[in-house]
Amino acid sequence: MAREVYLPLWIRILLVATLNVALLGGVFAVFLRLQLKPDLESFLMAQSRERIGTVTSRIVSDLESTDMTQWSNVLKRYSAEQGITILLYRNTGEQLAGALTPLPPEVDVRLPRGGPSNGPPRGTGFQGAPPPPPPPPPFERPPGIAGERGGGPGFNNAGAPFLAVASTAPKYWVGVRMPFISIPGQEQSLRSVLMFISPGFFTNPFFFDLRPWLAMGGVALLITAICWLPLMRNVTHSIAAMKKATARIAEGHFDVESRETRRDELGLLDRSINQMADRLQTLTEGRKRFLGDAAHELRSPIARMQLAAEILERHSAPGTEKYVASLKEDLSMMTQLTDELLAFARAEGTFQPAQLTPVNVADAASMAIRRESTAGADVRLKVDSTIAVLAIPDYFVRALSNILRNAIRYAGDRGPIEITASRKNQDVEVRVVDSGPGIPEEELDKVFTPFYRLDDARDRRTGGAGLGLAIVRTCIGACGGVVECRNRRPSGLQVVIRLKAAS
């Protein structure tokens, strides 16, 4: 029988929490992408816009006080300082300063080309840039521009930053329409666009500093863990205690130790488990007393009835022999039933681990084979003579005998029946294996229930009162072990007894 995959509750809660964090991270990532607007107008970009304006003001101030041949060096210095590539272009697309980099088409179409564009006279170039085109017609500088620096009225004429995403690396270009730059010794002013370029946007602290957000996320996760972990530990601890208690109840031990003091639904469930255990113990003890008393009281009248049947058989009239024979058969079945009931009641009343003694498995199995083996049954014993278990000898032999009897009854003509044993850590597993038809999967655990029989076993030929395997479970339980049935493939059944190994 395939074992069901068991996933602890705390792992499920942790997976749900992880999924929650992942979903929040995904939502935050989508939110950031939505904030990445062409004009950087979102509130998340306010700090970036301010930083771009400040750096632009400083660059304008330095460029106006520096010879054009040194403009590339100025931009190189600022690029190293800010951790970003800074280039200067005319508003018509020609590069003026910085490392020679062609404008991607996606950026070129965003340049603010409206209005006149002035430049230095022909022949005034700079290091690393192509010669500029012929100067346009003279353009009068607006009032208040000449002589201004940085954040003065001149800089206020700078355009708002705009974002262009290129299809090739570097991908992100943020442009700022520069104010009219006054060139020393020239009457004309230069109209240009300053470009801030980076392969990433949210990963570059110049545009967006992720560190505060990551710090806030870490603090949120820490607070969440501090709030949830104690609760999760408390809940799973209570559930584990109740699981242990219900497992003991399922094995027939009703002295559960689950005594939770919680004042919630889990506390109510614990009290219900305790009440159920007490009620089951009362019912079980009553059933044990009834079975023992009934079996004991029935032995005497059945014995008298058998004696009467023997006398009746000797004095029966001709033609009545078959009725007397049927009566004797029924009395024999009743005798067997009362014997099994008495054995079952006695076994159920024994839960004293102090009485356990070392029992040699091979010897016990040999005794069971001598008791139950019949003509034509092929029973094979394959047990190491050194393997021993802690058990009550009579109960262990009785359990093996009952299992072997069932195997011979239902599968004795289907092939050999094998008894094996193996050591598993501190336990010993004893297996009785046959090649019979097996048991339906849904019936595997029910066959240990008292008086339970499969439908196809309810006839006079197979006999039985449905107590054989119930006695097995009771006897093995009295020895501190467990027993279970498993179907074999392609056919057959194996009954597995697990007991403590005798050291």
Give the model confidence (pLDDT) of 281-303 as tens digits. Answer: 888 777 777 767 777 777 788 88
Q: What CATH number does the domain containing 300 carry?
A: 1.10.287.130
Which range of residues forms the domain containing residue 471? 353-500
Neighbours of 392 (CB within 10 A): 22
Shared-domain flag, residues 332 and 397: no
Do the domain assignments include residue 29? Answer: no
Residues 303 and 365 in one domain: no
In this structure, are 313 and 378 located in the same domain? no
Element (H, E) at 237: helix 211-250
Token pair 């306010």: residue: 46
Q: Do the domain assignments include residue 479?
A: yes
Stretch 151-177: mean pLDDT, rounded?
A: 74
Q: What is the pLDDT of residue 195?
A: 93
Tell me whether residue 234 is in a domain: no
Helix 393-411, helix 468-478: angle, nearest 10: 150
What total number of domains does the chain contain?
3
Q: How confident is the model at residue 116 (pLDDT cuts 50, 70, 90)?
A: very low
Are 194 and 56 in contact by the 8 Å Cβ rule? The answer is yes
Q: Which two tokens stand for residue 87?
A: 């280039």
Residue 64: what pLDDT?
82
Burial class (CB in 10 A: 0-12, 13-18, 19+), 219: exposed
Which range (222-231, 272-281, 446-455) has the least confidence? Answer: 446-455
Picking from 143-152, 173-182, 466-475, which range would have the lowest pLDDT averaged per residue? Answer: 143-152
Q: Which residue has the tokens 């970036």?
A: 48
Question: Which H/E stretch holds residue 483?
Answer: strand 482-487
C-alpha of 431 from chain center: 34
Burial class of 437 by CB neighbour count within 10 A (0 to 12, 13 to 18, 19+)? middle
Of 348, 371, 395, which residue is a domain's last?
348
Residue 187's alpha-carbon distances to 23, 47, 57, 175, 190, in angstroms, are 59, 36, 21, 26, 10
Q: Is residue 30 part of a domain?
A: no
> What is the rounded (10 degree) CA torsion for 143, 145, 146, 150?
160
What DSSP designation does 448 have? G
Contact, 133 vs 21, CB < 8 A? no
Q: In this structure, what are the phi and psi dihedrals at residue 193, rounded to the nearest 5 degrees?
A: -130, 125
Question: Which residue's structure tokens are 């067997």?
Answer: 336
Other beta carbons within 10 angstroms of residue 480's beta carbon come to 17
pLDDT above 80 for 44: no
In a domain, 22, yes or no: no
298 and 443 belong to one structural domain: no
State residue 432's pLDDT score. Answer: 94
Of 327, 348, 369, which residue sits at a domain end? 348
Quote the distance between the C-alpha of residue 192 and its chain's center. Answer: 59
Tell me, yes or no, whether 312 and 442 share the same domain. Answer: no
- Rounded to two decimals, the pTM is 0.46
326 & 415 share domain: no
User: Does one domain contain both 138 and 287?
Assistant: no
Predicted pLDDT of residue 180: 64
- Residue at 8: amino acid letter: P
